Amino acid sequence: MTQSSLPRLQSIAIDGPAGSGKSTLGRALAQRLGFLYFDTGVMYRAVALAALERGLAKDDENAISQLAETLVIEVLPPDAEDGRAYTVRIDSRDVTWALRAPEVEAIVGVVSTYPRVRTALVRQQRRIAQRGAVVMVGRDIGTVVLPEADFKIYLDASPEVRAERRVRELRARNIQADYQAVLANLRQRDYLDTHRADSPLRPAHDAVIVDSTHMDAEDTLDYVWRLLMERAALHFGR
Protein backbone atom coordinates (compact mmCIF):
# COMPACT_ATOMS: atom_id res chain seq x y z
CA MET A 1 0.00 0.00 0.00
CA THR A 2 1.33 3.47 -0.90
CA GLN A 3 0.44 7.08 -0.38
CA SER A 4 -1.90 7.04 -3.38
CA SER A 5 -4.02 4.28 -1.86
CA LEU A 6 -4.34 6.16 1.43
CA PRO A 7 -4.96 9.68 0.08
CA ARG A 8 -6.12 11.19 3.37
CA LEU A 9 -3.30 9.81 5.49
CA GLN A 10 -0.76 12.62 5.58
CA SER A 11 1.24 12.38 8.79
CA ILE A 12 2.57 9.69 11.12
CA ALA A 13 4.21 10.61 14.42
CA ILE A 14 6.58 8.21 16.18
CA ASP A 15 7.92 9.06 19.63
CA GLY A 16 9.98 7.11 22.13
CA PRO A 17 13.20 7.06 24.14
CA ALA A 18 16.69 6.67 22.69
CA GLY A 19 17.41 3.24 21.25
CA SER A 20 13.79 2.09 21.14
CA GLY A 21 13.99 1.48 17.40
CA LYS A 22 11.82 4.40 16.33
CA SER A 23 14.24 5.57 13.64
CA THR A 24 14.40 2.10 12.06
CA LEU A 25 10.61 1.82 12.22
CA GLY A 26 10.03 5.30 10.86
CA ARG A 27 12.36 4.78 7.93
CA ALA A 28 10.72 1.47 6.99
CA LEU A 29 7.19 2.89 7.22
CA ALA A 30 8.16 5.87 5.08
CA GLN A 31 9.62 3.59 2.44
CA ARG A 32 6.47 1.46 2.30
CA LEU A 33 4.20 4.50 2.04
CA GLY A 34 6.39 6.60 -0.22
CA PHE A 35 6.48 9.29 2.47
CA LEU A 36 9.28 11.58 3.60
CA TYR A 37 11.18 10.13 6.57
CA PHE A 38 12.26 12.82 9.02
CA ASP A 39 14.08 12.01 12.25
CA THR A 40 13.88 15.27 14.20
CA GLY A 41 16.55 14.08 16.62
CA VAL A 42 19.22 14.79 14.03
CA MET A 43 18.53 18.48 14.39
CA TYR A 44 19.32 18.40 18.11
CA ARG A 45 22.40 16.34 17.37
CA ALA A 46 23.45 18.91 14.78
CA VAL A 47 23.24 21.67 17.38
CA ALA A 48 25.20 19.54 19.86
CA LEU A 49 27.90 18.79 17.27
CA ALA A 50 28.17 22.44 16.28
CA ALA A 51 28.47 23.42 19.95
CA LEU A 52 31.31 20.93 20.44
CA GLU A 53 33.10 22.17 17.34
CA ARG A 54 32.87 25.75 18.59
CA GLY A 55 34.14 24.83 22.04
CA LEU A 56 30.91 25.76 23.81
CA ALA A 57 30.29 24.28 27.24
CA LYS A 58 27.21 22.08 27.34
CA ASP A 59 25.82 24.12 30.24
CA ASP A 60 26.18 27.44 28.39
CA GLU A 61 22.49 27.62 27.63
CA ASN A 62 22.50 31.12 26.19
CA ALA A 63 25.36 30.50 23.73
CA ILE A 64 23.94 27.17 22.55
CA SER A 65 20.47 28.69 22.19
CA GLN A 66 21.87 31.51 20.05
CA LEU A 67 23.66 28.90 17.96
CA ALA A 68 20.45 26.94 17.38
CA GLU A 69 18.64 30.10 16.31
CA THR A 70 21.20 30.92 13.64
CA LEU A 71 22.51 27.53 12.52
CA VAL A 72 21.62 26.41 9.00
CA ILE A 73 20.63 22.73 9.26
CA GLU A 74 19.55 20.82 6.18
CA VAL A 75 17.94 17.37 6.29
CA LEU A 76 17.95 15.91 2.79
CA PRO A 77 17.33 12.57 1.07
CA PRO A 78 20.41 10.30 1.23
CA ASP A 79 23.09 11.27 -1.30
CA ALA A 80 25.59 8.50 -0.53
CA GLU A 81 25.25 4.72 -0.56
CA ASP A 82 26.67 4.09 2.90
CA GLY A 83 23.57 2.98 4.78
CA ARG A 84 22.39 6.45 5.72
CA ALA A 85 18.67 7.19 5.88
CA TYR A 86 19.17 10.88 5.10
CA THR A 87 21.93 13.41 4.65
CA VAL A 88 22.40 16.11 7.26
CA ARG A 89 24.36 19.24 6.50
CA ILE A 90 25.48 22.04 8.78
CA ASP A 91 26.24 25.16 6.76
CA SER A 92 26.47 22.95 3.64
CA ARG A 93 28.90 20.47 5.29
CA ASP A 94 27.94 16.79 5.44
CA VAL A 95 27.88 15.73 9.11
CA THR A 96 25.52 12.75 8.82
CA TRP A 97 27.67 10.13 10.55
CA ALA A 98 29.44 12.59 12.86
CA LEU A 99 26.10 13.12 14.58
CA ARG A 100 26.28 9.59 16.04
CA ALA A 101 29.66 10.07 17.70
CA PRO A 102 29.80 9.30 21.46
CA GLU A 103 30.81 12.91 22.18
CA VAL A 104 27.59 14.14 20.62
CA GLU A 105 25.59 11.42 22.39
CA ALA A 106 27.02 12.59 25.71
CA ILE A 107 25.65 16.15 25.48
CA VAL A 108 22.63 16.05 23.19
CA GLY A 109 20.34 15.19 26.11
CA VAL A 110 21.31 18.42 27.87
CA VAL A 111 21.22 20.53 24.72
CA SER A 112 17.72 19.32 23.89
CA THR A 113 16.33 20.54 27.23
CA TYR A 114 16.96 24.21 26.44
CA PRO A 115 13.62 25.91 25.63
CA ARG A 116 15.03 28.30 23.01
CA VAL A 117 16.75 25.41 21.23
CA ARG A 118 13.51 23.46 21.12
CA THR A 119 11.50 26.46 19.96
CA ALA A 120 13.92 27.16 17.12
CA LEU A 121 13.97 23.56 15.92
CA VAL A 122 10.26 22.85 16.36
CA ARG A 123 9.57 25.82 14.08
CA GLN A 124 11.66 24.20 11.35
CA GLN A 125 10.10 20.78 11.96
CA ARG A 126 6.56 22.09 11.59
CA ARG A 127 7.45 23.82 8.35
CA ILE A 128 8.65 20.52 6.90
CA ALA A 129 5.57 18.66 8.20
CA GLN A 130 3.22 21.11 6.50
CA ARG A 131 4.22 19.60 3.16
CA GLY A 132 2.36 16.43 4.17
CA ALA A 133 3.13 12.77 3.42
CA VAL A 134 5.64 12.55 6.26
CA VAL A 135 6.72 10.06 8.91
CA MET A 136 8.22 12.18 11.66
CA VAL A 137 10.24 10.64 14.48
CA GLY A 138 11.32 12.21 17.75
CA ARG A 139 10.41 12.71 21.39
CA ASP A 140 7.65 15.30 21.24
CA ILE A 141 6.14 14.78 17.79
CA GLY A 142 2.71 13.54 18.81
CA THR A 143 2.44 15.94 21.75
CA VAL A 144 3.99 19.17 20.41
CA VAL A 145 5.21 19.16 16.81
CA LEU A 146 2.33 17.26 15.17
CA PRO A 147 -0.48 17.01 17.73
CA GLU A 148 -2.96 16.51 14.86
CA ALA A 149 -1.00 13.65 13.23
CA ASP A 150 -3.21 11.02 11.60
CA PHE A 151 -1.47 8.15 13.38
CA LYS A 152 0.71 8.22 16.50
CA ILE A 153 3.03 5.56 17.87
CA TYR A 154 4.94 5.61 21.14
CA LEU A 155 7.68 3.00 20.79
CA ASP A 156 9.44 1.77 23.91
CA ALA A 157 11.80 -1.00 25.06
CA SER A 158 13.73 -1.84 28.21
CA PRO A 159 16.88 0.23 28.87
CA GLU A 160 19.03 -2.92 28.70
CA VAL A 161 17.77 -3.89 25.24
CA ARG A 162 18.09 -0.32 23.99
CA ALA A 163 21.69 -0.18 25.20
CA GLU A 164 22.49 -3.44 23.41
CA ARG A 165 21.06 -2.03 20.18
CA ARG A 166 23.06 1.18 20.48
CA VAL A 167 26.30 -0.72 21.14
CA ARG A 168 25.74 -2.91 18.06
CA GLU A 169 25.04 0.19 15.98
CA LEU A 170 28.23 1.91 17.10
CA ARG A 171 30.44 -1.15 16.71
CA ALA A 172 29.05 -1.73 13.22
CA ARG A 173 30.58 1.63 12.32
CA ASN A 174 33.87 0.69 14.01
CA ILE A 175 33.24 2.98 16.98
CA GLN A 176 34.36 1.62 20.33
CA ALA A 177 31.44 1.31 22.73
CA ASP A 178 31.21 0.04 26.29
CA TYR A 179 27.83 -1.47 27.18
CA GLN A 180 27.75 -0.15 30.76
CA ALA A 181 28.70 3.35 29.65
CA VAL A 182 26.05 3.33 26.92
CA LEU A 183 23.43 2.04 29.37
CA ALA A 184 24.27 4.75 31.89
CA ASN A 185 24.06 7.40 29.16
CA LEU A 186 20.66 6.11 28.02
CA ARG A 187 19.30 6.18 31.55
CA GLN A 188 20.55 9.73 32.00
CA ARG A 189 18.99 10.71 28.68
CA ASP A 190 15.69 9.12 29.72
CA TYR A 191 15.69 11.15 32.92
CA LEU A 192 16.47 14.40 31.11
CA ASP A 193 13.88 13.73 28.42
CA THR A 194 11.07 12.86 30.82
CA HIS A 195 11.81 15.57 33.40
CA ARG A 196 12.51 18.62 31.23
CA ALA A 197 10.08 21.49 31.76
CA ASP A 198 9.56 22.11 28.04
CA SER A 199 7.71 19.34 26.13
CA PRO A 200 8.86 16.31 28.18
CA LEU A 201 8.95 12.86 26.61
CA ARG A 202 5.61 11.14 27.16
CA PRO A 203 3.04 9.31 25.05
CA ALA A 204 0.40 11.45 23.40
CA HIS A 205 -3.05 10.73 24.83
CA ASP A 206 -4.12 9.15 21.55
CA ALA A 207 -0.87 7.31 20.73
CA VAL A 208 -0.65 3.54 20.39
CA ILE A 209 2.03 2.31 22.82
CA VAL A 210 4.23 -0.44 21.40
CA ASP A 211 6.87 -2.27 23.47
CA SER A 212 9.61 -3.61 21.18
CA THR A 213 11.67 -5.25 23.94
CA HIS A 214 10.95 -8.74 22.64
CA MET A 215 10.54 -7.85 18.95
CA ASP A 216 13.19 -7.35 16.32
CA ALA A 217 12.93 -4.60 13.71
CA GLU A 218 10.98 -6.73 11.22
CA ASP A 219 8.48 -7.93 13.82
CA THR A 220 7.95 -4.37 15.04
CA LEU A 221 7.36 -3.11 11.52
CA ASP A 222 4.86 -5.87 10.75
CA TYR A 223 2.97 -5.23 13.98
CA VAL A 224 2.79 -1.45 13.48
CA TRP A 225 1.88 -1.87 9.82
CA ARG A 226 -1.14 -3.97 10.80
CA LEU A 227 -2.16 -1.29 13.31
CA LEU A 228 -1.77 1.39 10.67
CA MET A 229 -3.91 -0.48 8.15
CA GLU A 230 -6.60 -1.03 10.77
CA ARG A 231 -6.57 2.65 11.65
CA ALA A 232 -6.69 3.69 8.00
CA ALA A 233 -9.60 1.35 7.28
CA LEU A 234 -11.50 2.58 10.33
CA HIS A 235 -11.04 6.31 9.84
CA PHE A 236 -10.50 6.78 6.12
CA GLY A 237 -12.44 3.93 4.57
CA ARG A 238 -11.16 1.48 1.99
Question: How many CB atoms lie under 10 A from the CB of residue 216?
Answer: 11
CB atoms within 10 A of CB 218: 10
Q: Do 13 and 145 form a contact (C-beta atoms < 8 A)? A: yes
Please give the model's pTM, rounded to 2 decimal places.
0.80
Strands 93-94 and 87-90: antiparallel
pLDDT number for residue 1 = 47
Backbone angles phi, psi at 12, to 5 degrees: -125, 130
Instruction: Give the pLDDT of residue 21.
Output: 92
Residue-level pLDDT at 237: 55
Which of 146, 139, 56, 142 has its CA nearest to residue 103?
Answer: 56
Q: Report the amino acid identity of residue 131.
A: R
pLDDT digit string, tens, across residues 150-180: 999 999 999 999 999 999 988 988 888 899 9
On the 0-12 / 13-18 / 19+ scale of CB atoms within 10 A, 200 is middle
- Residue numbers in the chain where pLDDT is lower than 50: 1-5, 7, 238
Distances (CA, A) of 102 to 7, 13, 165, 182, 232: 41, 27, 14, 9, 39
Which CATH code fits 9-230? Answer: 3.40.50.300
Give me the phi and psi of 172, to 5 degrees please. -65, -20
